[in-house]
């Protein structure tokens, strides 16, 4: 499409350096709007079905919140946070995830006094200074769900089922849920001792970074992406063998619920997740690449975090048990585009308003408003002048009817109604046009007299 030169563009000096977006941050463009809108619409619809209510927290939080919740030794906190001092010398961080903020808000706003559990969802941007690559950005979006105030396994299963169903509704087929249980902090102590002994006995196979991990956060050795560590990790002791009885029962129950709703899951003892607040259930969603049969990047993930409230200073006698999950918007949309999954069609258009000439254009604004007000699904392109290009748009939008207002019609208070399928047109009075169009669409007879074509 040629760019239209405006008088403003002629005035801009030519030699100014073009400003680019920040590395790892990207624009969402109108060409992709259908994917994003379908994403939002379905998130909203499924949240309402399962009774999750909308909630939002600030983009900026005190850095301490994420340090305490996610953990100092995680990649997110040690390497990836956008942290800065504001003018009052306070350390602030652009949120790298939602869970810590939601739990802060739950405690701070006394949501424990509302009916429990508090089930909430949201969608929005998050910031992690990762190395940008396909599916990994420095600003990205998540649809996030949290259930705060319940330790019941059915809630873990519901979250997984909501994520699973959402992905299916978008048209993704081969989805796998990987799942694990990492027990409670108490039951994990014994497991971590065993794990440290195991890796310590193979220390020569570890590089410097991995040796540091072994000291600071041994669980994270299990989700190492290093291929050299693969066999070692596969043969490592498994957390589910060290669960306390209650955690064992809890995990068994989550799996039984998933069996009941026929969610395809795979037990994966390496799934410890990159955030320290998890206890018991951890899970991630993957889609199989139809070309390679493999699955690599997680489309979403989550788990239970029964001890986060206490970690964040909740003073209640019984702090809130909770679970949640987040779905990565960019990764899901990229998967759809890469695999030719088209977003479900938009709403059918009833009527497309076409105008020709100055007087007609002037009258069209009001006329269009009356069509929309009447409940008809209407579209227009006031910016276009040619009748041909407007009719092309009507066709592209699959409109049932086009209403054409020309100079003559505008003067005579008439309008042309055109059946977009047959191309047959008829001149009718413009008065009560919305009701007339509605009647004709309902009856399926758009044109009464076969007048013009
Ligand atoms: P997470 O696994 O860090 O979990 O992120 C969830 C999803 O966000 C990932 O599976 C991925 O799809 C997407 N994602 C993460 N980082 C990036 C990135 N740099 N670029 C693009 N997409 C990304 C959490 O954030 C937890 N707060 C989830 C949760 C909620 N747990 C309990 N409640």
Contact predicate 35/135, CB 8 Å: no
Mutate to test the pocket of ligand 1, among 100, 130, 328 (most ligand atoms within 8 A of CB): 328
Q: What pLDDT score does 214 carry?
A: 93
Q: What percent of the chain has pLDDT over 90?
A: 83
Using DSSP bridges, classify how beta strands 300-304 and 322-328 pair: parallel, antiparallel or unpaired: antiparallel
Atom of ligand 1 nearest to the CA of 142: 8
Q: Is the CB–ligand 1 distance for residue 302 below 6 Å?
A: yes
Higher pLDDT, 296 or 440: 440
Q: How many CA atoms lie within 13 A of 440 on its CB side?
A: 23
Per-residue pLDDT, 244: 96
Q: For residue 317, what pLDDT band results from cuts at 50, 70 and 90?
A: confident
Q: Do residues 239 and 182 lie in contact, with contact meaning Cβ atoms separated by under 8 Å?
A: yes
What contacts 24+ positions apart, CB below 8 Å, involve 115-118? 116/148, 116/149, 116/150, 116/320, 117/147, 117/148, 117/149, 117/150, 117/155, 117/322, 118/146, 118/147, 118/148, 118/149
> Ligand 1 centroid to 155 CA: how many Å?
19
Tens of pLDDT, residues 157-189:
999 999 999 999 999 988 999 999 999 999 999
In short, whether 80's Cβ falls inside 6 Å of ligand 1 is no
> What percent of the chain has a predicted confidence (pLDDT) above 70?
95
Cα 181 to ligand 1 centre (Å)? 18
The predicted-structure confidence for 83-109, as pLDDT tens digits, reads as follows 999 999 999 999 999 999 999 999 999
Q: Quick: pLDDT tens for 139-163.
A: 999 999 999 999 999 999 999 999 9
75 in helix, strand or coil? helix
CA 71 – CA 64 distance, rounded (Å) = 10
Nearest CA to ligand 1 atom 20: 136
pLDDT above 80 (res 383): yes
Quick one: pLDDT at residue 318? Answer: 83
Instruction: Provide the pLDDT for residue 24.
Output: 97
Segment 101-122 mean pLDDT: 97
Q: Is 298 in the pocket of ligand 1 (CB under 6 A)?
A: yes
Considering the entire predicted model, what is its pTM? 0.87
pLDDT reported for residue 263? 95
Calpha distance 80→59 (Å, rounded): 16
Give residue-wise pLDDT tens across range 390-430.
999 999 989 999 999 999 999 999 999 999 999 999 999 99
What is the mean pLDDT of the segment spanning 283-304?
91
Rounded to whole angstroms, what are the CA distances from 80 to 76, 94, 96, 214, 402?
Answer: 5, 10, 8, 20, 53
């Amino acid at each position: 499409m040629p760019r239209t030169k405006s008088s403003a563009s002629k005035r801009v000096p030519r030699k100014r350096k073009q400003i680019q977006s920040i590395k790892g941050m990207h624009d969402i463009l109108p060409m992709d709007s259908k994917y994003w809108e379908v994403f939002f619409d379905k998130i909203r619809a499924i949240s309402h079905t399962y009774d999750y209510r909308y909630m939002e927290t600030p983009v900026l939080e005190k850095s301490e919140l994420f340090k305490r919740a996610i953990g100092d030794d995680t990649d997110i906190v040690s390497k990836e946070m956008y942290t800065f001092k504001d003018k009052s010398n306070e350390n602030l961080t652009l949120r790298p995830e939602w869970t810590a903020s939601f739990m802060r808000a739950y405690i701070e706003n006394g949501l424990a006094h509302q009916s429990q559990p508090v089930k909430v969802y949201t969608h929005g941007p998050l910031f992690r200074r990762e190395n940008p690559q396909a599916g990994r950005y420095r600003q990205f979006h998540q649809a996030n769900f949290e259930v705060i105030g319940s330790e019941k396994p059915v809630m873990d299963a519901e979250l997984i089922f909501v994520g699973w169903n959402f992905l299916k509704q978008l048209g993704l087929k081969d989805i796998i849920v990987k799942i694990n249980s990492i027990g409670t902090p108490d039951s994990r102590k014994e497991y971590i001792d065993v794990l440290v002994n195991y890796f310590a006995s193979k220390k020569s196979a570890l590089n410097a970074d991995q040796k540091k991990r072994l000291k600071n956060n041994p669980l994270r050795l299990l989700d190492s992406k290093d291929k050299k560590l693969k066999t070692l990790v596969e043969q490592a002791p498994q957390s589910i063998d060290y669960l306390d009885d209650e955690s064992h029962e809890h995990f068994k129950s989550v799996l039984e619920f998933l069996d009941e709703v026929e969610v395809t899951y795979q037990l994966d003892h390496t799934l410890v997740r990159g955030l320290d607040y998890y206890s018991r259930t951890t899970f991630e969603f993957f889609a199989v690449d139809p070309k390679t049969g493999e699955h690599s990047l997680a489309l979403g993930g989550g788990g239970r975090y029964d001890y986060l409230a206490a970690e964040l200073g909740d003073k209640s006698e019984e702090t809130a048990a909770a679970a949640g999950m987040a779905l990565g918007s960019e990764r899901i949309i990229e998967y759809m585009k890469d695999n030719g999954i088209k977003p479900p069609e938009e709403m059918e258009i009833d009527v497309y308003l076409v105008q020709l000439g100055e007087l007609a254009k002037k009258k069209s604004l009001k006329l269009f408003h009356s069509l929309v007000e009447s409940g008809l699904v209407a579209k227009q392109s006031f910016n276009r002048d040619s009748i041909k290009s407007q009719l092309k748009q009507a066709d592209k939008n699959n409109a049932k009817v086009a209403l054409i207002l020309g100079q003559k019609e505008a003067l005579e208070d008439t309008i042309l109604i055109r059946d977009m399928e047959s191309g047959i047109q008829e001149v009718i009075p413009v008065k009560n046009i919305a009701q007339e169009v509605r009647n004709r669409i309902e009856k399926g007879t758009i044109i009464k007299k076969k007048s013009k074509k």
